[in-house]
Structure 1
Amino acid sequence: MGSMYFARTNKGNDVVNSGSWFGSDYENNNREPNYRRTAFTWNFLYYLINQTNALIEGVEGSTAIAESDKGPLLGQAYAMRAFFYFELSLEFQHTYKFDTSLPAPPIYDKPSQLEGKPMSTQAEMYAFILSDIEKSIQIGSSERMNKSYFNKEVAHGIAARVYQVMGNWPKAAEHAKAAYGGNVNAALSPDVYKNGFDDMDAGNEWMLASPQTDDQSAYYYTAPHGFFTQTESAYNNTYINKNFKNLFTKTDVRNTFVTTARTDYRQVYTKKFVFSFHADVPLMRTAEMILIEAEALYYSNPAAAHALLYALQVNRDPAAVKSANLGQALLDEIMVERRKELYGEIGVEWYDAKRLRKGLPRDQGGVHRLPMTSNPLMPDDKRFFLKIPQSEIDANPNIPSSINNDR
């Protein structure tokens, strides 16, 4: 998941890739049916879906597991399956609000089904996702062994993301608030920005993580930690758009940027992510949920949205001054805050541009290695999604060979 999110990060404007690893994602051309990005994303998510299907079938049919234990186990499984299908929906089609009748990936609800199913639709996919989420929240538990496990709060967080993409703002606000608990200061730990975002147990902010240990590590492949750092021996190929750096005040705890003597696109890098072989990877944080709630409230109660936004801003920067923004300017401020808070983590620029059906142009003036001057990402650009893998078309008789026509 970290590599999938980092691929999305590289497609945007706020970071700059110097080449090699994730370079094709940065070029926004890594989507053809025979490409590794396309095949990996499809196969990885369907492998995990099959595992969760096996878990559901095994728990439901077990006579050895106590009935009282089945709910929490199934709650985890339904949340995971919803999460993986949601990621598939983002990767392999236009956003939900573009056209819900468009083909979406096939839906499998049993393990090891040997007959390939036909494509679903976005409407069918999201109905399935929401059904899983509702079941997860209903029967799941808040208890878990550690933050790599899906619990009820994580299920609320997934629901908040799904309803955000769907534009169902009352539901997005409801689930986002349930996910982080409703108390901004209790849900945030600004000191985590001093720690290098490598420990899921540091502070209160990590909701879901992919943990790493020295004996079970992804090593240099660990994204994002192995790519942003310029001070440890890692890939060191990802820099920061200097215009993005300038959005941060000096007193903002999130200002972890270093300006070098270089004058090209490699002038600025970030120390947000410290690299080690045991650096945990953040997949969901409370700050994201606070900002989802703020965005959702904007459509019904702008004053409350503004107050919630400022509560996060002053937590990050004690010297923050509440803006006088109203209307579209307030919504734009919330979107900028999402970029400032979540850069490098979930591909937030790509995610927001896709769901809001906006373009994702890059700044000019030498701040990017590849400014994409003549071919910027436009609203509803097909480069926001991947083509169906050729290996799937070849193996599945229920997916027509013409599926990638006009994709």
Structure 2
Amino acid sequence: MRKNFFKSIFLLGILLSIVGCSEEYLEDPKPAGQVSEDVVFNSRAGVEAYISGIHRRARGQWTTGHDAGGINSVYFARVAKGNDVIIGTSWFRFDYEQANREPTYRRTSFTWEFPYFMINQANTLINGIEASETLSEEEKTELKGQGLALRAFYYFQLAMEYQHTYTYDATLPAPPIYLELSLEGKPLTTLQEMYDLIISDLTTAVAGLNDSRLNKSYINKAVAQGILARVYQVTENWEGAEEMAHAAYGGNVEAVLDASTYDDGFNEMSNPEWLWAMPQYADQTMYYFSAPHAQADFNNPSYNNAYINSNFVDEFSDTDVRKLFVSYNPSVSWQNYITTKFNFVDFGVDFSIMRYAEMILIEAEALYWQEQVDAAHDLLYKLQVNRDPQAVKSGATGQAVLEEILVERRKELYGEIGVEWFDAKRLRRGISRDATHRVVVDLAPDDKRFFLKIPQSEIDANDAVDESVNSNR
């Protein structure tokens, strides 16, 4: 039964939303250890304080393991499973070795519990806003949109991590769906039901949100559109992916790209190319949980744990601003190169969740799949020439344009969101590692190692899920 779990995360969420976010609420007498929903949801300021608490928890230290610290840890575990980045013998090494999916492992339990915690906070937000008698309808629509987009984002992570991709078989079992505080565990749902909810939440959010927000850690219309563009990539709704990605970056490539910032260290959310970010402050730092920075930066105290495949380095021209590679230990093939892309100069590094460049590349791919190959190629070249002023448009035609787009996604987003894993899974291509790697483990298309088993802790706590859930997984 999940009764105690849901009670505890509800109370913790309320407390986190207030501490450090809205001091006026702390100045009034309140029962020790709790803040009522009436206080939180009777004003816009209270709701925004609660949303601040949700975002603060997203960038907190979830476990004692530095490979399980927040959404950045989910992303970097995906990075570790690819071919372009090589992981050493420290954190994320089991993800790298494709050996981290058993029910009792930290990766499996963290990747389940963290999204569900965030989903529960989003549900509390959504339901509290709906029940409020003091918020205006306009405020309800906009604030609820943030909650719906958050809920959809974390259900999307669960859908990607605990089953085959949507196009493999949408009738397959998927994690349970909760839309409100529940005192009992619910049975598994299906991928179809989960994606139906995700898309419904996001389309409602897009309709209700506007362009304004408190800062880049909050969700506005463009962020919701960006999340939905990713979802449409997975479900292969290419018309929808094109529309949402184009809207998310505004349709003007030159206006949202600034190549001069690419080598700034990827640690400041003020970067004009960042659409959605997770900031870190002195009193909220994740310390060495800050993947990728704490894993990849060899110039500052960190784990010195992420190397770059020399064959991937060869994909970049010498005039490409993204070619930020340094020879490190050429006597060991897998340690030949490191990257200076991520600067871990202090413990307060910000983390990029979504960037405009990704949206441009989603639109290009969506155009390709709609048989607008020339338009896709033209859009791709706009990004390429921004990154490399000496870039020459390739003579690619047909499927070669798609392959060029996918390579460009890897070059643009390496180390950030696990794009190589994401593309290999959704396109059902698999991942083939070359001999440069410390551990050569290939993933065939639709390999079961693309998803995790259901955690034993869930099986033990939820009467609606039994041991057979992991049979043939």
Give the structure-1-normalised TM-score: 0.97
Q: Classify 1:311/1:63 alpha carbon distance in 2 versus 1 (closer, same or farther; 3 Å).
A: same
Match in the other structure for 1:257: 325
SS at match of 2:104: coil
SS at match of 2:307: strand
Deviations 1:162-221 (A, max 9, x none): 000011111110100011100001011112212111001122x11111111122100111
Equivalent residue for 1:207, pick from 255, 259, 275: 275
Equivalent residue for 2:470, pick from 391, 404, 407: 404
For 1:341, the aligned partner's letter is E
Mapping of residues 141-220 of structure 1, within 5 Å: 141-203=210-272, 205-220=273-288
Deviations 1:86-142 (A, max 9, x none): 01000000000000000000010012x011111000010000011101110111121
Deviation at 1:259, TM superposition (A): 1.3
SS at match of 2:444: coil
> Within the alignment, does 1:90 sit opposite 2:163 as a pair?
no
The 2-side partners of 1:315 and 1:83 are apart by 30
Number of positions where the alignment pairs a residue of Structure 1 with one of Structure 2: 400
Match in the other structure for 1:285: 355
The 2-side partners of 1:322 and 1:329 are apart by 13
> Within the alignment, does 1:344 sit opposite 2:412 as a pair?
no
Match in the other structure for 1:380: 446
Deviation at 1:45, TM superposition (A): 0.4
Q: Where in structure 1 are there 5+ consecutive unaligned residues? A: none
Match in the other structure for 1:296: 366
Match in the other structure for 2:34: none
CA contact (8 A) 2:102 2:108 kept: yes
CA contact (8 A) 1:75 1:141 kept: no
For 1:337, the aligned partner's letter is E
- Bigger Rg, which one: 2
The 2-side partners of 1:172 and 1:263 are apart by 44
Match in the other structure for 2:146: 76
SS at match of 1:250: coil
Deviations 1:312-364 (A, max 9, x none): 00000000000000111111000000000001111011000000001101011
Deviation at 1:263, TM superposition (A): 2.2
The 1-side partners of 2:329 and 2:186 are apart by 56
Higher relative contact order (CA closer than 8 Å, sequence separation 6+): 1
CA contact (8 A) 2:90 2:303 kept: no
Match in the other structure for 1:359: 430
The 1-side partners of 2:91 and 2:189 are apart by 33
Give the structure-2-normalised TM-score: 0.84
> Within the alignment, does 1:59 sit opposite 2:132 as a pair?
no
Deviation at 1:62, TM superposition (A): 1.1
Match in the other structure for 1:332: 403
The 2-side partners of 1:29 and 1:137 are apart by 38
SS at match of 1:194: coil
Equivalent residue for 2:90, pick from 14, 20, 23: 20
The 1-side partners of 2:86 and 2:94 are apart by 12
The 1-side partners of 2:288 and 2:105 are apart by 22
Match in the other structure for 1:315: 386
The 1-side partners of 2:258 and 2:153 are apart by 26
SS at match of 1:239: strand
Q: Where in structure 2 are there 5+ consecutive unaligned residues? A: 1-70
> Within the alignment, does 1:128 sit opposite 2:197 as a pair?
yes
The 2-side partners of 1:260 and 1:6 are apart by 22
SS at match of 1:403: helix
Deviation at 1:262, TM superposition (A): 2.6
Match in the other structure for 2:5: none
The 1-side partners of 2:170 and 2:466 are apart by 20
For 2:163, the aligned partner's letter is Q
